[in-house]
Amino acid sequence: MAALLDVMAVRATGDPGAALVDCGEPGGRVEERVCEVLVVGGGTGGVAAALAAARAGRRVCLLEETDWVGGQLTAQGVAALDEHEHIERFGGTRSYYVLREAIRDHYRRLSPALASAKHPNPGSCWVTRLAFEPRVAVQALLGMAAPHVDAGRLEILARAKAVRAEVLRDRIESVLAVSLDDRRWTRIRPVIVIDATELGDLLPLAGAEYVVGAETKAETGEPHAQPLEPKAHCVQSFTYTFVLENTGPGHSHVIPEPERYEHYRDGQPFSLRIHVHGGEIYGEETRWLEYQVLDQAPGTKGGLWTYRRLIDASLFPSGSGYADDISMINWPGNDYRDRSILDRSPLEQAGALQDAKRVSLGFLHWLQTEAPRPGAPPGFPELKPRPDVFDTADALGKHPYIRECRRLRSLKTIVEQEVSAEYQRGARAQHFQDSVGLGWYPIDIHNSGPDDVGVSCRTRPFQIPLGALIPVRVRNLLAGAKNLGATHITNGCYRLHPIEWNVGEAAGALAAFVLENGHDPAAVHADPRLRREFQRRLVGEGIPLYWFTDVGVDHPAFSALQLAAVTGEVTGAPDRLEAAALPADVRRRFGL
């Protein structure tokens, strides 16, 4: 057995090979487990998948290689949610709203100001409607899982990594996993397997067909795909986020200059100037904006500090434990874009992750010592790293924030022209009759190399097609995270928190559905009757399938209207997302 990468053991200094784990061969030291649904990867989508299958009464095993569930919500540090303008009333699943409210309830108990707010945001940040400390989301997720764990339906194996899959006649028969802590081996024999790993790691283990990097126009038909040759190295940058406390002028918490500091300072470069996109035309309507660290610069929405601030100390009373603001830094300055870690050896991955940590620590050092400070010498030495927030020695996330992973070759591949506002001119994106959920976010592609500035453009509110979760060949495998059947381009809008949660939840619900009915996932996709019944289950669980922003998941008409719309029996107004724009007779029929 080749050495494995322990992502939590990567350090910014020393030999990158020290993060590798030599587990040897399992031999006869293998514990056997049997479950109905195996979810590999306990990130945002993986937790949602496990909860959905467990709610349906299935026996579920969840593997997670770090010691925190939640992925981009928690261990990766993006605890300022990337959502959309309608999220407070529509566009998330019921269970996603349960998670958001559990997080908010934690802070309501600590702050009278937040307790009295309709939609409290502990960070008062300008990029999202909800920011929080990652550990609070971990506890919320574990709280949601607790009834299923206590009932014996859900088993969570933390610090466990899948290393091998046994496949027979296009079915995964077993998955071999090892504990990164004590080197104990476990062979799990499931009926259905969901890959919700951060990199799509189970796809090569299972021999499932997948795509890495940027495809060609000839392959996808996308107007802005690569013109001639695919580029496997063209993968969105990833980021080690970090959390800082603003201790105020007169304090100094400057970290040592990390290795290769000048190289990354000048090569990234470390800057408060970013390339801003935002038009409906792919790659057009771009401009440069110069931000400030603490203050709001002209033409901007705020400073770097309040961009993804997790805690606004002014909202909390004395004695609450929040004397100072806390902010999470996820900025182009600490994006790592030199090397992809997909389909690389564990040692190559460890080396790239080490470099990525140096980039983030370098950006932190630059903020403390060289960042422009209007009317004063450069640098903000009062910005204090908070290693306790992630429970890591270097104050960086336990896992890098992964934007793009291996992508499943699936029954349906979502392409640019189905979601981009450049090609979809109505209120909604292309309608998919096999919709299993919703999402909305711009196509936002972070740069994949030092000479690439990235691309962003608007989309229309879109759907998640069932076919994008189902492989072209392997019969009992489902995509449960960012590894669904998207392209390099559309991955840029399907990778965000509520969308990954919805993908995972739909995968978990589908796993439970096929176990109940005895069909393979592909049969559910192919049979309109089965698909309709599955969609009925989804809306019954509070998963919206069609965009009507004024009929939320708890509205009496939600289920009936959603089913009528997804099948084409009812069509939303071409220029509005509200059901209020439907003809009067249709509104009366649904009691609207």
Which residues make beta-bridge pairs with 326?
245, 311
Read off the pLDDT of residues 173-189 as tens digits, 9 standing for 90 and up: 999 999 999 999 999 99
Angle formed by the axes of helices 558-566 and 528-540, nearest 10°: 150
- What is the per-residue DSSP string for 162-194? EEEEEEETTEEEEEEEEETTT--EEEEE-SEEE
In a domain, 553, yes or no: yes
Long-range pairs of 252-255 with CB within 8 A, sequence gap ≥ 24: 252/381, 252/382, 253/368, 253/381, 253/382, 253/383, 253/384, 253/385, 254/365, 254/368, 254/369, 254/379, 254/381, 255/361, 255/364, 255/365, 255/368, 255/385
Q: Tell me if 348 is assigned to some domain.
A: yes
Confirm whether 36 is domain-assigned.
no
Last residue within a domain, chosen from 384, 402, 420: 402
Instruction: Taking residues 256-274, report their average pLDDT.
Output: 95
- The whole-number pLDDT of residue 23 equals 85
* Residue 473, amino acid: R
For the ranges 182-186, 429-433, 507-511, the lowest mean pLDDT is seen at 182-186
Domain count, the chain: 2
Q: Is 368 inside any structural domain?
A: yes
Range 44-72 average pLDDT: 99
State pLDDT tens for residues 145-161: 999 999 999 999 999 99
Look at residues 363, 386, 402 and tell me which one is the last residue of a structural domain.
Answer: 402
What is the pLDDT averaged over residues 398-427? 97
Is position 519 within any domain? no
Q: Would you call the peptide bond into 269 cis, given omega within 30 degrees of 0 as the criterion?
A: yes
Element (H, E) at 205: helix 202-205
DSSP string, 37-52: EEEE--SHHHHHHHHH
63-69-72 Cα angle (round to 5): 115
CB 288 within 8 A of CB 273: yes
How high is the pLDDT of residue 453?
A: 60
The parent domain of residue 266 ranges over: 238-402
The stretch 509-517 carries a mean pLDDT of: 98
Cβ distance 427 to 461 under 8 Å? yes
Domain end among 402, 433, 463? 402
Summarize pLDDT for 96-128 with one digit per residue, the tens. Answer: 999 999 999 999 999 999 999 999 999 999 999
User: What Rg, from alpha-carbon coordinates, does the chain have?
Assistant: 23
Alpha-helical runs (H) found in 384-527 = 387-390, 491-494, 497-517, 521-526
Contact 503, 480 (CB under 8 A): yes
Tokens 């929040």 sit on residue? 322
Asked, for residue 77, whether it belongs to a domain, the answer is no
Specify whether the CB–CB gap between 56 and 154 falls below 8 A: no
563 in a domain, yes or no? yes
Position 262 scores a pLDDT of 97
For residue 333, how many other CB atoms are within 10 A of its CB?
A: 25
Instruction: State residue 449's pLDDT score.
Output: 73
What is the mean predicted confidence (pLDDT) over 371-386? 97
Packing angle, helices 44-55 and 94-108, rounded to 10? 110
To the nearest 10 degrees (0 to 180), the angle between helices 94-108 and 497-517 is 130
| Any domain includes 562 | yes
**470: its two tokens:** 């189902």
pLDDT (mean) for 42-71: 99
